[in-house]
Amino acid sequence: MPEMLVLKDIRKSYTMGDTRLQVLKGIDLTIEEGELVSIMGSSGSGKSTLLNIIGILDQYDSGEYRLDNTLIKNLSETKAAIYRNKLLGFVFQSFNLISFKSALENVALPLYYQKVSRRKRNQLAMEYLEKVGLGDRADHLPSELSGGQKQRVAIARALIAQPKIILADEPTGALDSKTSYEVMDLLKEVNNSGMTVIIVTHEHDIAEMTNRIIHLRDGLIERDVRPDRFISA
């Protein structure tokens, strides 16, 4: 499988008041196309920072990051926005749907920034909503949806631009276990269709559902595990 994502010696530090906090101390990581990966670690391990760098939401201090063979380094905001739009789909713990837009409009939004015509993007948005089982909720506002439904809308939104990678930051963090498993099933389904999925989580049962678990600790990769049962499966 071709390499989708290559990180070489990524370092990142934050300045907090007078102290300089080294969050990532040299991350080397390669993820291939079609992988379903989870990143685990306790709070402060640097997993959110790593996800932000992978998601081009934040910059790194040194090292090299290639996404789909494109070097992602010191991009302007405009360039970063274009890459995010084309290459990445985000799923957040707090859903991050726009509150005054209906489910359909939320799903269609990435296509608006690709200048897709309104009719076309609403049609596609409807297809993706149906894919996540919410065709009948298209006109509902986020406030009228349950947590699980909101996350499914967010997943539909992440998928609609057909990105290379889905980045999910604690996608089940705000959901009960039953709904969590439904969301995970959906993400696995997405992965089965060939898309690379990276999930940041601190829940072991969620991580166990992925094909590869990367453990972060104090800004370094502690363990990179591929459970045997998936390999044999």
Partner 1 sequence: MFDIDKWQEIFATIQKNKLRTFLTAFSVAWGIFMMIVLLGFGEGLTNGVKYQFRDDAVNSIWISSGTMSLPYKGLLPGRRVQFTNEDFDWISRTSGTENVSARNWVGGDFVVSYKGEYGKFDIRAVNPDYQFIENINMVEGHFMNAYDQQQRRKTAVIGRKVEEALFKGKNPIGEIININNINFQVVGIFEDIGGEGENEIIYIPLSTAQIAFNSVNKINQLMFTVGDATVEESKVLADKMQAEMARRHQFDPSDERAVFVRNNYEHFNRFLKITQAITSFVWVIGLMTIIAGVVGVSNIMMIVVKERTREFGIRKALGATPMSIVGLILQESIFITSAAGYTGLVLGVLLLDVVGKAVAANAPDFTYFLNPRVDLSVALSAVLILVVAGAVAGLAPSLRAANIRPIEALRDE
Residue written as token pair 């905001």? 77
Interface residues toward partner 1, by CB under 8 A: 52, 55, 57-58, 77-78, 81-82, 84-86, 90, 92, 94, 96-101, 105, 109-110, 112-114, 118, 157, 161
Q: Which of 50, 45, 44 is nearest to 11 (CA)?
A: 50
Residues with Cβ within 8 Å of residue 8, at least 6 apart in sequence: 28, 63, 64, 65
Contact predicate 197/166, CB 8 Å? yes
CB 88, min distance to partner 1, A: 8
Are the beta carbons of 113 and 93 closer than 8 angstroms? no
In the sheet where 212-217 sits, what is the strand order? Answer: 88-91, 165-169, 196-201, 36-40, 212-217, 220-225
What minimum distance in Å lies between the beta carbon of 164 and partner 1?
Answer: 14
State how far the alpha carbon of 17 is from the alpha carbons of 21, 25, 59, 138, 218, in Å. Answer: 10, 20, 20, 46, 20
| Cβ distance to partner 1 smaller for residue 156 or 209 | 156
CB of 96 to partner 1, least distance (A): 5
CB of 209 to partner 1, least distance (A): 25
Nearer to partner 1 by Cβ, of 67 and 213: the residue is 67
Closest to partner 1 by CB, 89 vs 219, is 89
Cβ proximity to partner 1: between 34 and 52 the closer is 52
In the complex with partner 1, the residue whose CB is nearer, 45 or 211, is 45
Question: Shortest distance, CB of residue 161 to partner 1, whole angstroms?
Answer: 7
